[in-house]
Structure 1
Amino acid sequence: MNNPRTVHLLAVTCYLSLFALLMAWLIWLAPPAPEYRSIALIFLVGPLLLPLRGILHARRYTFSWSGMLILIYFVHGIASMAAAGPARWLGAIEIVLSLSYFILAIRYLRITGSKAANKTHSR
């Protein structure tokens, strides 16, 4: 898994899957009370929209700071695991997706960073 395109594609897949999971969770699978639904969507799904363009365009800087952003969803997944019902398994899926994206983002940064370093050192 040293191909940057493959790692980027897997990272984008995990990121978009996390986005889809949260949308389905908050709208259909286990929605909060109707008066809190829009607030939950803004605060849980909204931050995922901020780095989306940079992630889709494979920008290294966006991968670096979105890796820190995604840890919020890891913590949210752990907190959701303490709840009963469907929130427990939804939290488990959220943990897997956020951790997968974090690992893939770090891997992408290492792969593309070493190639950029080799290009500057070879001159």
Structure 2
Amino acid sequence: MSRKLFHYGAVASLIALILLTLLWELWLAPLRPGGSLMALKAVVLLAPLMGILKERVYTYQWSSMFILAFFMEGVMRTWADHGLSHWLAAGEIALTTLFFVCVLGFVRSFRQAA
């Protein structure tokens, strides 16, 4: 597969995860009515965004480990939450998995080209 395809997949899944996090914690199913401070985790997701957009291999490498914390949160909340929050957590799992696979594919294709 093409390195560009992995790049676009990583960018799209990271931006979708940021949007999902904001919608989830502020409007759709916040922990507290009116929104919660859990929405600040979207700010943490901004940390790798510029490096991913600029195709910096180092950012791809560390973000592959960084995203696992969000995967774990999704697994725990899928198991513990009910209703809409359960399904949003399942979406978080799907997006983090897609991001992880795209990051690994990008780094692998970069190393094969070098």
The TM-score, its normalising length taken from structure 1, stands at: 0.86
Contact between 2:27 and 2:34, CA under 8 Å: does it hold in 1? Answer: no
2:62 counterpart of 1:78: no
**In structure 1, how many angstroms separate the alpha carbons of the residues matched to 2:112 and 2:54?**
19
2:89 counterpart of 1:87: no
Instruction: Choose 1 or 2 for highest CA Rg.
Output: 1
C-alpha deviation, 1:34, in angstroms:
5.1
Match 1:96 to one of 77, 94, 97:
94
Q: 2:105 maps to which residue?
A: 107
C-alpha deviation, 1:60, in angstroms:
0.3
Query: How much identity, in percent, do the aligned residues show?
Result: 35
**In structure 2, how many angstroms separate the alpha carbons of the residues matched to 1:68 and 1:100?**
14
**In structure 1, how many angstroms separate the alpha carbons of the residues matched to 2:92 and 2:75?**
9
**In structure 1, how many angstroms separate the alpha carbons of the residues matched to 2:64 and 2:113?**
20
**In structure 2, how many angstroms separate the alpha carbons of the residues matched to 1:104 and 1:21?**
19
Q: CA RMSD, aligned part only?
A: 1.4
Structure 1 stretches of 5 or more lacking a match? 117-123
**In structure 2, how many angstroms separate the alpha carbons of the residues matched to 1:88 and 1:34?**
17
How many pairs were matched up?
A: 113
C-alpha deviation, 1:6, in angstroms:
1.4
Q: Secondary structure at the match of 2:66?
A: helix
Q: Following superposition, which runs of at least 4 residues in structure 1 exceed 4 angstroms of deviation? A: none
* Aligned 1:1-123 pairs, distance under 5 A: 1=1, 3-33=2-32, 37=36, 39-42=37-40, 44-82=41-79, 83-116=81-114
The TM-score, its normalising length taken from structure 2, stands at: 0.93
